[in-house]
Amino acid sequence: MAERRPCLSVRGGEWLFAVVGLPFALFGGVYALAVLYAGALLSLTVLGLPFVVAALLGARGLGALHRRLTGRLLGEHVEAPAGLPRSAGVLARGRAVLTDPVAWRTLLYLVLRLPLGVLGFAAAVALPLGCGWLIGFPLWVRLLQPGPRPAGLLDAVAVVLGVILLFLVPAAVRALGGANRRLARLLLGPARVQQRVRELESARATLLAENTDQFRRLERDLHDGTQARLVALAITLSLAVDALVPATGPDLVRLRTLVDRARGETDDTIAELRQLTRGIHPVALDDGLGQALPALTATSPVPVTVRLDLRERPHQAVERAVYFCAAELLTNIARHSGARSAELTASAADGRIRLTVRDDGRGGAALGAGTGLTGLAERLAAVDGALRVDSPPGGPTTVTAELPTRL
C-alpha cells in the first residue's frame, strides 16, 4: 500500500534530488542528444558504428549512476538489468551492444530526464525564490522608490500570489519526484519480459533445489529402510537354506527349491533397488564430478579415456544432469556403436561446463532418431543446456553437452 503523507510534507531526499540532480540531468541529456546527432552524422562513415557502440556502453554506465542516485535520494530501488551477453570476438560484441535494448532505453531515459531535471530545480529553488520576491514585493518597491507611497492593489496581489505559490512548492517537488521514480522504474530497470524471465529462472532454481532434496531423502529412505529389510530377508533365507541342507525327502527338496527361488528373487530385487537408488542420486556425486565421472567410466565395457579440467564445481542440478548425460552416452556406446574405444572430456570454467564424449564406432547417431538422445536434449534444456551430435555414417561420433554451472 502506498505511503500517505501530508500535502505539505516533502522528503529531504526529494529536495536534494531536485537540486543535485540538475547537473546529472543536464550532462545526461546533452550526452544523449549529442550521441543521437553525431551517430546520425557518422552513420555513413567508417567511424559510425564504433562511435555508436562506445556511446551505448557509456549510456549503460550513466544509467547505473542514475539508478544509484534515484535509490539514494528518492528511496526508489531500481533493479539493475541483465548484463550484455558474452560474445566471442569484437564483431559479435559490437552486434550485441547495437541490439541491446537496455542501452537504447537508457538513452531515452537521459533525454526525458533533462526536462524533468530542469523542472525539478525550478520547483525546488527558483519557485521558492520567486515566492519570496512576491511576498516581499511591497518592501522591494519601497527600497527602490523611497518616500511615502500608498499600498496599492498590486502589492496585495503580489503577496497573496507569493503565499499561494509557496504552499504549492512541496506538492510540485513531490510530484516531480514521483515522476522521476516512475521514469527510472520504466526505463532504467529490466524490461517486463526480462523481469518475468528472472522470476521464472529463480522459481526453476528453487524447484530444482527442492527436487534435489526430495530425491536425496527418497534415496536415503530406500537405502536405509527398504533395501536394509530386503538384505535382512535375503540373509534369513540363506540361513534357512543352510538349515535345510542336511534334510532329505521330496517335501524338503521342494521346500529348498522354493526357498532358493525366493532368495534369488530377493537378490534380484536388491540389485534393482540399488540401481534405482543410484539413478535417483548417485552417491559418487557427493564428491563432485571429478570423482563421479572416472568411477562411471570404470564400469564401461568399452575402454574410456578420461580428461577432466574442472576448475569450479557446478550447481547440484547441473552436476546431476552432466552425470546422467555421461552415463547415457556411455551406455549407448556399449550397446549400439560397436566402438573399440571412447574418450570422455569434461571442463568447467568461466561459468560454463562442457562434456564431450567421442567414440570410434559406426556412427549414424542423430537427434530425433531415437528417444535416448532426444531425452538427453530435453533433460539438458531444463537447466539451460544444449546437446550437439556429430555422427557421420562410418564414425566417429562426437556428442557435446554444454551447460551453465549456475542456474
DSSP of 317-349, one letter per residue? HHHHHHHHHHHHHHHHIIIII--S-EEEEEEEE
Give Cβ neighbours of residue 101 (< 8 Å, ≥ 6 apart).
191
Q: Is residue 294 one of the residues assigned to a domain?
A: yes
Q: In this structure, which amino acid lies at residue 161?
A: L
In a domain, 156, yes or no: yes
Q: Please calculate the CA angle 396-399-401 and round it to the nearest 5 degrees.
A: 165
Q: Considering the domain boundaries, does residue 4 fall inside one?
A: no
**pLDDT in the model for residue 110:** 93
Same domain, 152 and 55: yes
- Specify whether 272 is located in the same domain as 356: no
Q: Are residues 271 and 288 in the same domain?
A: no
CA pair distance 11, 69, nearest whole angstrom: 15
Q: Same structural domain for residues 218 and 253?
A: yes
Q: Edge-to-edge, what's the strand order for the sheet holding 397-404?
A: 304-310, 342-349, 352-359, 397-404, 386-390
Nearest to 142 by CA among 127, 126, 158, 160: 158
The confidence score (pLDDT) of residue 7 equals 42
Residues of the chain with pLDDT under 70: 1-12, 85-89, 137, 140-155, 191-234, 236-256, 258, 265, 268, 270-284, 368-371, 407
> For the residues of 219-287, what is the DSSP string, one character each?
HHHIIIIIHHHHHHHHHHHHHHHHHHTT--SHHHHHHHHHHHHHHHHHHHHHHHHHHHHHHHS-GGGGG
Q: Which residues contact 255 (CB under 8 A, 6 or more apart)?
A: 244
Same domain, 206 and 133: no
Q: pLDDT at position 87, please?
A: 62
Whether the CB-CB separation of 294 and 326 falls below 8 Å is answered with: no
Q: Do 76 and 138 sit in the same domain of this protein? A: yes
Q: What is the rounded distance in angstroms from the CA atom of residue 320 to the CA atom of residue 382?
A: 12
Note the pLDDT of residue 9.
44
Please state, in angstroms and rounded to a whole number, the distance separating the CA atoms of residues 222 and 229.
Answer: 10
Do residues 153 and 244 share a domain? no
Could you check whether the bond before residue 396 is cis, i.e. omega within 30 degrees of 0? yes
Instruction: Show Cβ contacts of residue 356 under 8 Å, excluding neighbours closer than 6 positions.
Output: 343, 344, 345, 346, 398, 399, 400, 401
- Of 165, 187, 209, which marks where a domain is finished? 187
Tell which of 161, 187, 213 closes a domain: 187
Question: What is the Cα–Cα distance from 407 to 401, expressed in whole angstroms?
Answer: 16
Residue 119: per-residue pLDDT: 92
160 vs 129, 142, 155, 212, CA distance in Å? Answer: 15, 18, 9, 72
N- to C-terminal Cα distance for the chain?
Answer: 33
Task: Give the 3-state secondary structure of residue 383.
Answer: coil
- Cell numbers for 300, please give them: 564401461
Query: Considering Cα of 315, then 318, then 322, then 327, what sign does the dihedral take?
Result: positive
Instruction: Provide the CATH number for the domain around residue 320.
Output: 3.30.565.10
Residue 2 within a domain: no
User: Are 17 and 159 found together in one domain?
Assistant: yes
The rounded distance, in Å, linking the Cα atoms of 67 and 189 is 8
108: number of Cβ within 10 Å = 14
Question: In the structure grid, which three cell numbers stand for residue 371, read together?
Answer: 528417444
Range of the domain at 108: 12-187
CA distance 51 to 83: 20
**Integer Cα distance of 376 and 386 in angstroms:** 9
Please report whether residue 43 resides in a domain: yes
- pLDDT in the model for residue 339: 87
Asked whether residue 92 is domain-assigned, the answer is yes
Which of 280, 304, 325 is at the close of a domain? 280
Q: Are 138 and 159 in contact (CB under 8 A)?
A: yes
152 shares a domain with 206: no
Residue 268 and residue 239 in one domain:
yes
pLDDT in tens, 102-160: 888 899 999 999 999 999 999 888 888 888 887 876 776 666 666 555 556 666 777 78
| Cβ neighbours for 327, distance < 8 A, ≥ 6 positions apart | 296
Number of domains the chain is built from: 3
In a domain, 395, yes or no: yes
Taking the C-alpha atoms of residue 49 and residue 56, their distance in angstroms, rounded to an integer, is: 11
**Same structural domain for residues 154 and 219?**
no
Q: Which residue has the cell 530444482?
A: 208
Burial of 337 (C-beta count, 10 Å sphere; 0-12/13-18/19+): buried
- In a domain, residue 208? The reply is yes
Do residues 230 and 250 both lie within one domain? yes
